[in-house]
Structure 1
Amino acid sequence: MANEESNEAHEPAVGTSALLLQLPDVAPHLKPWIDWWPHDGFTTHVTILVPFLPDSEIDEGVLGELRTLFAGFAAFDVTFAKAARFPTVLYLAPEPEQPFRDMTAAVYERWPQCPPYAGKYPDATPHASVVYDRTEAEYEDVARELGTRLPLRTRAAAVDLLIYDGSRWNVRESFPLSEL
């Protein structure tokens, strides 16, 4: 299992990009915990790959390849039925997780210079972060309250390419998954 730390602990460089499967209909169920996140520009999500290429390297050719790559994956229903932990993050575990792993692997196979989480973790466990950098008691309280709200269900239908501009993440393009 991955040992992801708070990925919010370090401000990204201007032009950093991320491929995220955003879950805006899950976010309201995670209030008040996600309200204090400094994530201007995106919502609750499962990361497909971060960091991706620098913005300056993302041209129409790269965008076209991403369109084709993600169109090769079918949209799917996702359930979040349990919370889990990395040492510094309480997260929701997606079921199924394999489609997320498959998308991450496909992007990394095409762009091997962009390992998930910059190669920091041997296993990029799919997850939707809820809180990070809390005391054990706080993690336990959040997990207990969160348990009363589960399961949460949604549809994974598109992957967004976001670019950090120094103060905010902006969606540059959304790549629909196929509807079979």
Structure 2
Amino acid sequence: MLVGVPPQATHTAVLVLVPEAEPVVGALRDRLDPSAPQGVPAHVTVLFPFVPAQAVDAATVDRLRRAVAGVGRFDATFDAVRWFGEDYVWLAPSPAAPFAELTERVHRAFPDHPPYEGEHEPVPHLTVGYRRHSSLEALQRAADDLAPRLPITAGIDRVHLLAGSFEGDWRVVAEAPLDRRPGTGHRR
């Protein structure tokens, strides 16, 4: 086990944290996305679920770092509010391709861990809230509140490995930097 993985952690996730979004989405996520009060910051998911928390070791982190090293740093703009049906409200990143490439690379390096357990095709997004934990009306108010506060621009230079449980206490246990040269490796 890697030092820093909480002993009570059961799951891990590979995420791109987007701290630039917190001033805009933080309070909304606290109410509408149960992962926020559990300690998961605003993010775009690269791969979840990832390796079981107690199986994470230095070799896992090294393989993750190698998987993303060929992707260059990039800027992303979150400029549109989108929906998955009437169940999820989220922000769309532009460009989306580098996020998709990160998911592809990490999944290729860890083929036993498909995105979302293979239940649906991954779409790069920053979740604001979902209906299982709030009403459609609350999600609609959030979407209406967000639209005039966009765009949000973020510099993406690393992915983060978080460990925690669905009861809370998620924390960053490792980082994997992207290539220092902008735009290296991702499709245009």
1:91 is aligned to 90
CA–CA distance in structure 2, aligned partners of residues 79 and 60 of structure 1 = 33
1:28-177 to structure 2, matched below 5 A, reads 28-36=23-31, 37-38=33-34, 39=36, 40-87=38-85, 88-121=87-120, 123-133=121-131, 134-165=134-165, 166-177=167-178
Q: Give the root-mean-square deviation of aligned CA atoms.
A: 1.7
Whole-Å separation in 2 of the counterparts to 1:41 and 1:177: 24
Tell me the TM-score normalized by structure 1. 0.86
TM-score, normalised by the number of residues in structure 2 = 0.82
In structure 1, distance between residues paired with 2:149 and 2:178? 28
Confirm or deny that 1:18 pairs with 2:16: no
C-alpha separation between the residues in 1 aligned to 2:64 and 2:139?
Answer: 37
Inter-partner Cα distance in structure 2 for 1:140 and 1:67: 38
Give the structure with the higher percent helix. 2
Q: Deviations over 1:15-54 (max 9, x none)?
A: 2110000011211111431223443332100000000111
Structure 1: tracts of 5 or more residues without a match: 1-12
Identity %: 32
Query: Aligned partners of 1:137 and 1:116: how far apart in 2?
Result: 29
Structure 2: segments with no counterpart, 5+ residues: 1-7, 182-188
